[in-house]
Homo-oligomer: A and B are copies of this chain.
Amino acid sequence: MNETDEDRADAWFHALSDRTRRDILRRVLAGEHSVSSLARSYDMSFAAVQKHVAVLERAGLLTKRRQGREALASGDVEAVRAVGAMLSELEGLWRGRISRMDELFARDQQQHDRPEPTPRRD
């Protein structure tokens, strides 16, 4: 795991740790929305929503494009997939633990002269 990867992960999970930002991300994944139209959906100031959008943008979870005076935000599904991939890696570590437990179990069975150790996977 690279240092830069950890920085990205910090930004990803921090961005996702706020429910307003998760809700914004849902909307912009489902379709493009201007910042002001997003702001109208929440009981807080425009500036607050704009900051949330900026956090998501810095984390690479959404992108903005300018159209006239509007900034249209769009969710980046590849980034969402990358976050999911990171969690899959964590799951993989757990599977590794189970495998090592299997090995120990198998070795123990051999020591006790049981010729057919029972294999376990997942």
A residues at B contact (CB < 8 Å): 6, 9-10, 13-14, 16-19, 22, 25-26, 29-31, 75, 77, 80-81, 83-84, 87-88, 90-91, 93-94, 96-97, 100
Contacts and interface: CB of A to CB of B under 8 A. Distances in A.
A90 B10 contact: no
A29 B90 contact: yes
Query: Which secondary structure dominates where chain A touches chain B?
Result: helix
Given A77-B91, A80-B91, A100-B31, A17 B26 contact: no
Given A83-B87, A84-B91, A87-B84, A97 B17 contact: no
A102 to B, nearest CB: 13
Contact of A80 (B9, B31, B87): B87
A77 B94 CA distance: 7
Given A13-B17, A31-B97, 4 more contacts: A9-B19, A26-B93, A84-B87, A84-B88
11 contacts: A13-B16, A17-B17, A26-B93, A30-B93, A75-B93, A75-B94, A77-B94, A80-B94, A81-B87, A84-B88, A84-B91
